[in-house]
Amino acid sequence: MAVTEADTSAAPDVRLSTERLTLRAVTPDDAEQLHRLLNDWEVCRMLQAVPFPYPRLIADQFIADSVSQRLDGRAYHFAVTGQEDGREVLVGAVGLKLLRGQRRATIGYWVGRKFWGHGVAREATGRVLRWALANLDLDVVEATVAIDNTASTAVLRAIGFREIGRGEEVFLSRGSGSHAVLRFEAARGDLSPAPNLTTPAAAALPTHGVPLLLVAACVLIDAQGRVLIARRPEGRAMAGLWEFPGGKLEPGESPEEALVRELREELGVDVARSCLAPFVFASHTYEKFHLLMPLFLCRRWQGQPFPKEGQLIRWVSTDELMDYQMLPADRPLLPLLRDLL
Ligand SMILES: Nc1nc2c([nH]c(=O)n2[C@H]2C[C@H](O)[C@@H](COP(=O)(O)OP(=O)(O)OP(=O)(O)O)O2)c(=O)[nH]1
Ligand SMILES: [Mg+2]
């Protein structure tokens, strides 16, 4: 099965929410409000692909295109809405376009002028960025802003984007000729929440100035020799990458005890300690910690694995495993697993 196809299949009707906002697919019912908010020189002049004045016909065309682009996974245009006097009102939009075959996308956004100054762009764009890196086959999201757009530059920096250089772009609303822009990028590492390093080992054994983190993980193997992998959900460090089920040792736990607990918490399966066979270990320096991770094999458990923590799970052959973006520490272990199975 092609990874790209399967992973984006759940995305067309995605609906995201933040503390104050809802982000959902743009629909033809949005055309009137969208046209009214966008047909504003102060908004248009910051957008590359929008003419000014902004004709209603272009709003309708944009919405029709965004429906088909979303269905085939080329772009996700979100209407950003809020509540005003108990009604849902459009306040702006965020668009994400995938660059085919590159594991990259570009992001753009605008907010209606009367909603400026309330952190809408930051809240909405940050939400889409986190969703995209956790759920689409992407490693990097790019953004470009006009050099005179200081508000937007501040938004990008606050979300975690890094400035990577300058360039020139045409802005339709500003007429012919190119205008100076700043280019930004964000990858998973720019978003990662700091890991919660609570194990006693972490405190006791710093390595090269970073703490040592002890994690136990397990390869569940089914009767056809397929293995279970899980995609780290949004909100976790390294969200969007795949891993073997498992987690950090809690104080006083052995690796086996930690795994019995983690497999129940993450997948709802019961495993006896005697069914966990030590296989290999990972030893890998991440930016903020050094990971030491024994990897066990297990062929017998009770219950049907079920993703209890919002993760995506998948049974894959060891050949298919090579097509998945696994966590960096796991990559050297995969050929060993393939040789075994
Ligand atoms: N479970 C698991 N973790 C891995 C693998 N490879 C790898 O680098 N890690 C890293 C990612 C994380 O930094 C760390 C595991 O931490 P985690 O956040 O999943 O820990 P946990 O399940 O105890 O979750 P939490 O309660 O702290 O939220 O180990 C793997 O194959 N499986
Ligand atoms: Mg875990």
**Residue corresponding to tokens 């609570």:** 198
- Between CA 135 and CA 113 the distance in angstroms is 31
Would the CB of 196 count as within 6 Å of ligand 1?
Answer: yes
For residue 176, the model assigns a pLDDT of 82
Would the CB of 119 count as within 6 Å of ligand 1?
Answer: no
Single out the residue of 103, 101, 161 nearest to residue 129, CA to CA. Answer: 161
pLDDT tens sequence for the chain (341 residues): 333 333 444 566 899 999 999 999 999 999 999 999 999 999 999 999 999 999 999 999 999 999 999 998 999 999 999 998 999 999 999 999 999 989 999 999 999 999 999 999 999 999 999 999 999 999 999 999 999 999 999 999 999 999 999 999 999 999 888 999 999 999 998 986 655 555 554 444 556 678 999 999 999 999 999 999 999 999 889 999 999 999 999 988 999 999 999 999 999 999 999 999 999 999 999 988 999 999 999 999 999 999 999 899 999 999 999 999 999 999 999 999 999 99
For residue 6, the model assigns a pLDDT of 38
What is the atom index within ligand 1 of the atom nearest the CA of 237? 13
What is the atom index within ligand 1 of the atom nearest the CA of 265? 22
Q: Nearest 5 degrees, angle CA 261-CA 264-CA 265?
A: 85
Quote the ligand 1 centre to 235 CA distance (angstroms).
13
Quote the ligand 1 centre to 7 CA distance (angstroms).
21
Quote the ligand 2 centre to 165 CA distance (angstroms).
37
Quote the ligand 1 centre to 4 CA distance (angstroms).
24
Would the CB of 220 count as within 6 Å of ligand 1?
Answer: no
What is the atom index within ligand 1 of the atom nearest the CA of 289? 13
Q: Nearest 5 degrees, angle CA 193-CA 198-CA 200?
A: 150
User: Exposed e or buried b for every residue in 116-147, given b needs 16+ CB within 10 A?
Assistant: eeebbbbbbbbbbbbbbbbbbbbebbbbbbbe
Out of 191, 238, 248, give the residue to mutate to test ligand 1, the one with the largest number of ligand atoms within 8 Å of its CB. 248
For residue 193, the model assigns a pLDDT of 62
DSSP class of residue 192 equals: P
- With beta carbons less than 8 A apart as the criterion, state whether 152 and 116 touch: no
Name the 3-class secondary structure at 19: coil
ipTM value of the model?
0.96
**Residue corresponding to tokens 């458990």:** 301
For residue 2, the model assigns a pLDDT of 36
Domains and CATH numbers, the chain: 11-191 (3.40.630.30), 200-340 (3.90.79.10)
For residue 191, the model assigns a pLDDT of 84
What is the atom index within ligand 1 of the atom nearest the CA of 245? 1
Q: Whose CA is nearest to atom 17 of ligand 1?
A: 247
Would the CB of 198 count as within 6 Å of ligand 1?
Answer: no
- With beta carbons less than 8 A apart as the criterion, state whether 44 and 173 touch: yes
Quote the ligand 2 centre to 246 CA distance (angstroms).
5
Q: Which residues contact 306 (CB under 8 A, 6 or more apart)?
A: 267, 268
Residues of each annotated binding site for Mg(2+): 246, 266
Q: Nearest 5 degrees, angle CA 177-CA 178-CA 182?
A: 165
- Between CA 327 and CA 107 the distance in angstroms is 25
Single out the residue of 213, 179, 183 nearest to residue 287, CA to CA. Answer: 213
Query: For residue 257, what are the CA distances in angstroms to 204, 249, 252, 276, 302?
Result: 21, 8, 9, 10, 16
For residue 3, the model assigns a pLDDT of 39
Residues of each annotated binding site for 8-oxo-dGTP: 232, 243-246
For residue 184, the model assigns a pLDDT of 98
Length of the chain: 341
Would the CB of 237 count as within 6 Å of ligand 1?
Answer: yes
Proximal ligand: closest to the CA of 241: 1
Sheet containing strand 162-170, strands side by side: 16-17, 22-25, 75-84, 87-99, 104-111, 140-146, 178-187, 162-170
For residue 13, the model assigns a pLDDT of 81
What is the atom index within ligand 1 of the atom nearest the CA of 330? 6
